[in-house]
């Protein structure tokens, strides 16, 4: 069943009219307006972090590729059937030359990101970043003395470790959630959560106090089908059933989520009712719809009384064990077009210096092929985009791409040279975490690593 | 009772497609709904659904979306083996072509020095991690074994994954005539075919430090490798815990898991892996059967998955469409679920998911809550509400309608109506507070609107927290 956006808004409005909830919506909006004025006097200007998770393990080896003849030839031999043609790669003009003298190109289907890197200088790469519990080397890995994150190369574990930012810690909260715990007081607390997921449940946004509000890529959704007198009778009964005392913890939690969803829907549907966004987004892409909805919610940040937001969106299909070349052709084209559309939308909203989008993924993939694809590996290259990004550079150390070389722990699995902690800390500092105590709250292992700031972000005033 | 199969219904639907319309997933989805609502072998189908969420194959985002026969063949395999032996189940799953496609065992080649390629590790890893033994060594009660530092002990390492990846080389689509490795059209109906020239014959490091000798045949390698998994002490508690979570309660006691694991180890006649014995042990266990356990503990039970909720409603009220079809639209959008349509091999939700708040604070898991989001609580309630009020439409014979005539006959007696539904849908567990609310609401619907009274009662019941949490 495809519901058009207009249709579901109409349904939501009808649902609201059939109930007493319209009154509480008005009350909430009044509260927001009063609180907004108060909030605007503290906490600085708006900031949003957008985590875009590439589920399945993006083969970053084919996203940023060495193109100088010497290094490309090593690449082509090692990758065999999954090597991209040298002439097809889109050259990257680096602000700072590669210390090893290599030059790099982008996957042929990412011209939008090439332009943002070369021309706008608003896109940066974080090279060879991955989960670590302490700095280590391939040699230590191979002789068994490296201290390692639990369950390397396992999807579910590595996704969680990227998202918690604490590989050897309890898996109960994520680094985005802990960040939100610290900064949620900058927002009006009567509004929706500052953590908004367009991709359902995730570990990244779970905090001790703040948890995420999950919105569909078409916006918030409310209960429907309660029109007329009898509908009102039923709606009242539904609410009464939710509000019964529930001894069973699962019943109580289900009722709580449902009540929260009803309230959130009323607030966000009202706030979004007047939003316009003219930037075109790619059609027929869930990721595109997610990012467009994020831009719309950012557009109504003042109506919601919000000065800090953390978004989570995701796209799947990156687990390219087979048919890698054709699959990545589609996925990376989508990624490039969607990230560009989102960036252009933040320009339209005059908020592009206040919104930073960054990518994460389970892991990269083996440099060696299994024939048609590649298998689970470790250190990967990530993307950071926004007007606060010091773009046009590859940060960190791009690995030496030699099977059995200094960075390889087997079949071309690169030992990360930068930890997820360091990558995340750089973003957290931009977001407004200044003290080392707070930084350690967000990223408890950060003290084990050299860098709390990789340098790819311009700090905001 | 033998398994009701979906393949014949899918084949009939494909044959009836208008010229120019290609087969696709909806033909399987229709056959699945028809089967789970109408077939007599209900328990078998319910266990097959649990297995389909443990040993995941999915048409979501896959080329198999265009091959409903692939999904149907896999589903029928699960239904057939649900009451068989676990050893047979894992061999059938391993050689099933849809699984071969989904986790890349089909056309998995031995190492090729010229192309610098290694065997594909996808199936090898997930067979161990998700289907059979899990990441860490378990005690028979499902708890993790710990080393002297209090750390969990991994069951295998990367070398073992690579060993199994080498075992699983040399399989391709089943073919008649002269089989070829170079290119054959997909065949999702027969088990994959062995191509000995493409099987790695070197020695292989497998579980528990076992090494398979070099020079074995493809079949010898496969049998030995699967035997090692089947006999691993983790399998009993691993399968017991997963199946209990899917069928009864998210947080079974260690003793409950132990009893089921013991039934896995020995069915009473010295047979390991007898699924009938395992399912009996799960469903007849005092922890599952005693209503005092369900009502005295505040953490017993599990959330009915949205897909199961709708199936419960359709079955309870003998739903049907005038056309004889059983077409349920919008499942993935409304429920974040559709049969054999998970977003990845990790299913719709993880067995370890723990909802933040009182559930997580109590140290409990709540797997189904991973898809219980602000969005899906609304969309699933709307979808199920809509199903309850659906009326026959002469212009659309595919509309699925509930038979509420027994309930409509009780419309003048709201308390009696609600009590009968309590028995049918909630095993008589409805609280008095809930009963008062529903009876009161039904009483306010005009007495002449007998069908609407019945619909109101059903609607309020099946969207209530007390129904959604099955205890």
Give the number of other Cβ atoms within 10 Å of residue B211's Cβ.
10
Shortest alpha-carbon distance between residue A212 and chain B (Å): 9
* Sequential DSSP letters for B253-297: -HHHHHHHHHHHH--SSS-SSBHHHHHHHHHSSHHHH-HHHHHH-
Spacing of C-alpha B43 from chain mean position: 13
Helices B275-283 and B42-52, packing angle to 10 deg: 100
Closest partner residue to B441 (CB to CB) among A153, A237, A369 is A237
Closest partner residue to B459 (CB to CB) among A224, A234, A240 is A234
Copy the structure tokens of residue B439: 């009876």
Shortest alpha-carbon distance between residue A368 and chain B (Å): 6
Measure the CA–CA gap between A230 and A237, rounded to whole angstroms: 11
- Chain B neighbors of A250, CB-CB under 8 A: 250, 299, 301-303, 359, 366, 369, 469
CATH classification (class only), A38-221+270-448: alpha beta
Give the residue extent of every domain in chain A: 38-221+270-448
> Within A53-199, where are the H helices?
69-79, 111-115, 138-142, 155-164, 175-183
Which CA distances in Å does A153 have to A318, A362, A415, B95, B126? 14, 8, 12, 24, 11
Closest partner residue to A251 (CB to CB) among B154, B250, B469 is B469
Query: Is the CB of residue B386 less than 8 Å away from at least one CB of chain A?
Result: yes
Query: Which ipTM did the prediction report?
Result: 0.96
Copy the structure tokens of residue A165: 């930012």
Is B247 in contact with B46 (CB distance < 8 Å)? Answer: yes
Minimal Cα distance from B357: which residue of A?
A: A253
User: What digits encode the pLDDT tens for the residues B201-219?
Assistant: 999 999 999 999 999 999 9
> Which element (helix H / strand E) includes A244?
none
Instruction: Give the HSE-up count for residue A99: Cα atoms under 13 Å, Cβ half-sphere.
Output: 7
Minimal Cα distance from B460: which residue of A?
A: A238
First to last CA, chain B: 27
List strand residue ranges (DSSP E) for A331-419, in order: 355-361, 380-385, 394-395, 418-419
Is A446 in contact with A422 (CB distance < 8 Å)? Answer: yes
Measure the CA–CA gap between A135 and A397, rounded to whole angstroms: 13
**A380-385 and A123-130 beta bridge pairing:** antiparallel
User: What digits encode the pLDDT tens for the residues B303-341?
Assistant: 999 999 999 999 999 999 999 999 999 999 899 999 999
- Chain A neighbors of B125, CB-CB under 8 A: 153-154, 376
Measure the CA–CA gap between B365 and B354, rounded to whole angstroms: 4
Give the number of other Cβ atoms within 10 Å of residue B188's Cβ.
21
Measure the CA–CA gap between A98 and B443, rounded to whole angstroms: 77
Measure the CA–CA gap between B370 and A441, rounded to whole angstroms: 25
Instruction: Indicate the burial class of B12 (C-beta count within 10 angstroms; 0-12, 13-18, 19 or more).
Output: exposed
What SS3 state is found at B299? coil
| Bridge partners (DSSP) listed for residue B393 | B396
- Chain A neighbors of B116, CB-CB under 8 A: 77-80, 368-369, 403
Which CA distances in Å does B380 have to A14, B321, B387, B452? 18, 21, 11, 21
pLDDT in tens for each of the 461 residues of chain A?
Answer: 333 333 333 333 333 333 333 333 333 333 334 434 444 444 568 999 999 999 999 999 999 999 999 999 999 999 999 999 999 999 999 999 999 999 999 999 999 999 999 999 999 999 999 999 999 999 999 998 999 998 899 888 899 999 999 999 888 889 999 999 999 888 877 789 999 999 988 999 989 888 889 999 999 999 999 999 999 999 999 999 999 999 999 999 999 999 999 999 999 999 999 899 999 999 999 999 999 999 999 999 999 999 999 999 999 999 999 999 999 999 999 999 999 999 999 999 999 999 999 999 999 999 999 999 999 999 999 999 999 999 999 999 999 999 999 999 999 999 999 999 999 999 999 999 989 999 999 999 999 999 999 999 998 86
Minimal Cα distance from A239: which residue of B?
A: B464
| Contacts for A41 with CB less than 8 Å, ≥ 6 apart | none
Query: Is the CB of residue B40 less than 8 Å away from at least one CB of chain A?
Result: no
Copy the structure tokens of residue B202: 């070197």
CB contact under 8 A, A249 and B364: yes
Measure the CA–CA gap between B75 and B97, rounded to whole angstroms: 12
Measure the CA–CA gap between B383 and B390, rounded to whole angstroms: 11
Query: What confidence score (pLDDT) does residue A451 get?
Result: 93
- Please state the pTM of the whole predicted model: 0.87
Copy the structure tokens of residue B17: 């497609």
List strand residue ranges (DSSP E) for B206-261, in order: 211-212
Is A73 in contact with A370 (CB distance < 8 Å)? Answer: no
Within 121-150 of B, beta carbons closer than 8 Å to A belong to 121-122, 125, 129, 135
Q: What sign has the CA pseudo-torsion A239, A243, A244, A247? A: positive
């Amino acid at each position: 069943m495809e519901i058009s956006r207009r249709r579901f808004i109409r349904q939501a409005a009808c649902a609201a009219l059939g109930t007493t909830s319209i009154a509480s919506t008005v009350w909430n909006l009044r509260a927001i307006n009063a609180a907004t004025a108060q909030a605007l006097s503290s906490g600085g200007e708006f900031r949003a972090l957008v985590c875009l998770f590439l589920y399945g393990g993006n083969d970053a080896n084919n996203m940023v590729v060495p193109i100088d003849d010497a290094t490309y030839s090593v690449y082509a031999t090692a990758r065999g059937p999954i090597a991209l043609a040298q002439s097809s790669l889109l050259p990257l003009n680096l602000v700072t030359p590669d210390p090893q003298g290599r030059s790099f190109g982008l996957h042929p289907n990412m011209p939008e990101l090439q332009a943002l890197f070369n021309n706008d200088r608003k896109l940066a790469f974080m090279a060879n970043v991955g989960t670590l519990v302490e700095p280590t080397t391939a040699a230590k890995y191979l002789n068994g003395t490296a201290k390692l994150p639990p369950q390397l190369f396992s999807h579910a574990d590595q996704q969680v470790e990227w998202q918690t930012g604490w590989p050897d810690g309890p898996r109960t909260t994520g680094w985005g959630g802990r960040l939100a715990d610290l900064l949620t007081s900058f927002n009006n607390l009567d509004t929706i959560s500052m953590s908004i997921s367009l991709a359902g449940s995730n570990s990244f946004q779970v905090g001790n106090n703040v948890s995420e509000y999950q919105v569909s890529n078409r916006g918030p959704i409310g209960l429907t089908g309660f029109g007329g007198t009898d509908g009102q009778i039923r709606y009242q009964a539904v609410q009464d059933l939710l509000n019964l005392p529930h001894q069973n913890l699962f019943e109580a939690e289900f009722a709580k989520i449902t009540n929260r969803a009803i309230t959130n829907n009323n607030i966000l549907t009202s706030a979004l009712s007047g939003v316009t966004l003219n930037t075109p987004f790619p059609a027929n892409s869930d990721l595109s719809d997610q990012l467009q909805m994020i831009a719309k919610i950012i557009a109504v940040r003042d109506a919601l009384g919000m000065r800090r937001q953390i978004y989570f969106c995701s796209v799947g299909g990156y687990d390219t064990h087979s048919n890698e070349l054709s699959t990545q052709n589609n996925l990376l084209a989508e990624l490039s077009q969607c990230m560009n559309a989102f960036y252009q939308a933040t320009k339209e909203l005059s908020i592009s210096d206040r919104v930073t989008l960054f990518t994460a993924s389970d892991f990269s993939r083996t440099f060696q092929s299994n024939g048609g694809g590649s298998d689970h590996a470790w250190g990967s290259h990530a993307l950071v985009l926004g007007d606060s990004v010091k773009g046009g550079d590859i940060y960190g150390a791009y690995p030496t791409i030699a099977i059995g070389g200094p960075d390889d722990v087997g079949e071309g699995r690169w030992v990360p040279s930068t930890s997820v902690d360091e990558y995340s800390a750089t973003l957290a500092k931009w977001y407004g975490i200044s003290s080392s105590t707070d930084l350690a709250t967000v990223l408890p292992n950060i003290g084990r690593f050299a860098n709390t700031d990789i340098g790819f972000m311009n700090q905001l005033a | 009772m033998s398994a009701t199969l979906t393949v014949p219904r899918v084949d009939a639907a494909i044959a009836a497609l208008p010229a120019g319309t290609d087969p696709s997933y909806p033909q399987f989805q229709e056959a699945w709904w028809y089967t789970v609502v109408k077939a007599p072998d209900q328990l078998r189908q319910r266990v097959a659904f649990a297995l389909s969420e443990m040993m995941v194959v999915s048409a979501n985002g896959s080329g198999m979306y265009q091959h409903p026969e692939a999904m149907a063949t896999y589903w029928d395999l699960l239904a057939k083996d649900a009451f068989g032996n676990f050893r047979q189940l894992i061999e059938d799953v391993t050689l099933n072509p849809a699984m071969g496609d989904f986790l890349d065992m089909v056309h998995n080649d031995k190492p090729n020095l010229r192309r610098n390629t290694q065997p594909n590790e996808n199936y090898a890893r997930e067979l161990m991690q998700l289907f059979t033994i899990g990441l860490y060594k378990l005690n028979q009660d499902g708890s993790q074994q710990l080393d002297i530092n209090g750390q969990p002990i991994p069951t295998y390492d990367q070398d073992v994954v690579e060993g199994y990846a080498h075992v699983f080389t040399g399989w391709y689509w089943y073919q008649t005539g002269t089989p070829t490795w170079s290119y054959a059209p997909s065949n999702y109906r027969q088990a994959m075919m062995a191509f000995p020239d493409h099987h790695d014959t070197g020695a292989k490091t497998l579980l528990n430090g076992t090494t398979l000798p070099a020079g074995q045949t493809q079949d010898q390698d496969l049998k030995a490798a699967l035997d090692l998994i089947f006999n691993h002490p983790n399998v009993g508690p691993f399968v017991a815990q997963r199946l209990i979570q899917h069928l009864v309660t998210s947080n079974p006691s260690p003793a409950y898991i132990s009893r089921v694991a013991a039934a896995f180890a020995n069915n009473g006649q010295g047979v390991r892996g007898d699924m009938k014995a395992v399912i009996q042990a799960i469903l007849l266990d005092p922890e599952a059967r005693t209503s005092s356990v369900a009502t005295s503990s505040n953490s017993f039970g599990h959330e009915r998955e949205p897909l199961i909720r709708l199936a419960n409603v359709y079955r309870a009220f003998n739903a049907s469409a005038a056309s004889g079809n059983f077409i349920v639209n919008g499942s993935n959008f409304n429920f974040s679920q559709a049969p054999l349509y998970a977003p990845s091999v990790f299913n719709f939700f993880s067995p370890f998911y723990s909802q933040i708040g009182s559930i997580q604070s109590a140290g409990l898991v709540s797997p189904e809550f991973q898809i219980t989001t602000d969005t899906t609580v609304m969309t699933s309630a709307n979808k199920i509400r809509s199903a309850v009020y659906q009326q026959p439409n002469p212009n659309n014979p595919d509309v699925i309608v509930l038979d509420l005539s027994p309930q409509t006959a009780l419309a003048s007696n709201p308390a009696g109506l609600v009590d009968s539904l309590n028995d049918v849908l909630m095993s008589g567990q409805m609280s008095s507070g809930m009963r008062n609310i529903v009876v009161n609401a039904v009483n306010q619907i005009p007495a002449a609107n007998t069908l609407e009274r019945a619909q109101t009662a059903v609607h309020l019941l099946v969207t209530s927290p007390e129904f959604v949490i099955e205890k």
